[in-house]
């Protein structure tokens, strides 16, 4: 009996080692079913946050801005040392924030019933955290364009454009070069073009373009191909307007993409 148990121990050890090796391969090297190993994801460009890049007029993370008074408190500031959240606001633009260059946390524009553009953010170049324009449960109902983000060059984490029913194009972000994590363009009913992202050359994670009723699938696949050498080659492209370009949904794992 003891010899039989001794004989099973090497087998168990080998199985454990093999399972651990496969798991390590999948998590850290991206091994596929066919036995290949994807190259590691490229590192995003560095982002400098100092007085030389951002200016010296700093402000700590303010409370969520909902009215003109909140905007006026940030007039002349060049650097937010935290999050900038504009939600449930009653104004049409972000006039007053023209001097702002850097947001060290997240920049979120969501649930703003009157906001028609991002006008007022013309000086903004760097967002170190996430840039969120609209959310599943907090759309920007009247946002027609991203005018005001014309100087934006880098987003450190994800750029998510979600449920902005009046948004027609992304032409105003033509200087955007890199996104450190994922780019999500989801459920924007009036969006017809992604040509404004022609300068984008780096996305650190998944490109997710889905459920944009008027956006050609070919627009999304063109953007994917534009990024071939500079993202992790994860794509979720589906349920956009029908055309000659097929869905690319092998990496669709987001909860909102389950339906």
Q: Is the distance from CB of 110 to CB of 130 less than 8 angstroms? A: no
- For 174, how many CA atoms within 13 A lie in the half-sphere containing its CB? 6
| pLDDT attached to residue 23 | 44
The confidence band for 12, taking pLDDT boundaries of 50, 70 and 90, is low
Instruction: Report percent pLDDT > 90 for the chain.
Output: 64
| pLDDT attached to residue 45 | 79
Residue 50 has pLDDT above 50, yes or no: yes
Q: Hunting for tokens 């998590």 — which residue is that?
A: 27
Between 36 and 67, name the one with better pLDDT. Answer: 67
Residue 219 has pLDDT above 60, yes or no: yes
Q: Is the distance from CB of 163 to CB of 135 less than 8 angstroms? A: yes
What are the tens digits of pLDDT across the range 71-85?
Answer: 999 999 999 999 999
How many other C-beta atoms are found inside a 10 Å radius of the C-beta of residue 81?
Answer: 15
* Domains of the chain, earliest start first: 1-38 (no CATH), 49-257 (3.80.10.10)
| pLDDT attached to residue 9 | 59
What are the C-alpha distances in Å from 119 to residues 2, 78, 91, 92, 97? Answer: 78, 16, 11, 9, 9
**How far is Cα 5 from Cα 163, in angstroms, rounded to an integer?**
61
How many other C-beta atoms are found inside a 10 Å radius of the C-beta of residue 21?
Answer: 11
What are the tens digits of pLDDT across the range 112-131?
Answer: 999 999 999 999 999 999 99
| pLDDT attached to residue 255 | 46
Can you give the pTM of this predicted structure? 0.82
What DSSP character marks residue 25? I
- For the sheet with 58-60, list strands across it: 58-60, 79-81, 102-103, 126-127, 154-155, 178-179, 202-203
């Amino acid at each position: 009996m003891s010899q039989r148990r001794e004989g099973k121990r090497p087998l168990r050890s080998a199985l454990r080692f093999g399972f651990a090796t496969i798991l390590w391969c999948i998590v850290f090297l991206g091994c596929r079913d066919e036995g290949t190993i994807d190259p590691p994801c490229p590192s995003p460009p560095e982002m400098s946050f100092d007085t030389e890049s951002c200016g010296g007029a700093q402000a700590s993370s303010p409370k969520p801005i909902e009215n003109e008074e909140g905007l006026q408190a940030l007039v002349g500031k060049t650097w937010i040392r935290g999050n900038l959240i504009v939600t449930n606001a009653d104004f049409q633009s972000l006039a007053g924030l023209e001097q702002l260059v850097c947001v060290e946390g997240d920049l979120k524009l969501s649930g703003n019933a009157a906001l028609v553009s991002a006008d007022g953010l013309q000086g903004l170049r760097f967002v170190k955290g996430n840039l969120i324009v609209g959310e599943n449960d907090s759309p920007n109902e009247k946002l027609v364009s991203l005018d005001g983000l014309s100087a934006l060059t880098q987003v450190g984490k994800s750029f998510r454009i979600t449920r902005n029913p009046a948004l027609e194009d992304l032409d105003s972000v033509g200087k955007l070069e890199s996104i450190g994590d994922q780019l999500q363009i989801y459920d924007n009913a009036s969006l017809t073009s992604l040509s404004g992202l022609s300068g984008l050359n780096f996305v650190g994670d998944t490109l997710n373009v889905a459920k944009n009723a008027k956006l050609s699938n070919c627009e999304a696949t063109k953007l994917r191909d534009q990024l071939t050498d500079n993202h992790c080659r994860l794509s979720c492209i589906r349920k956009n307007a029908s055309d000659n370009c097929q869905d690319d949904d092998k990496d669709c794992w987001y909860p909102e993409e389950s339906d």
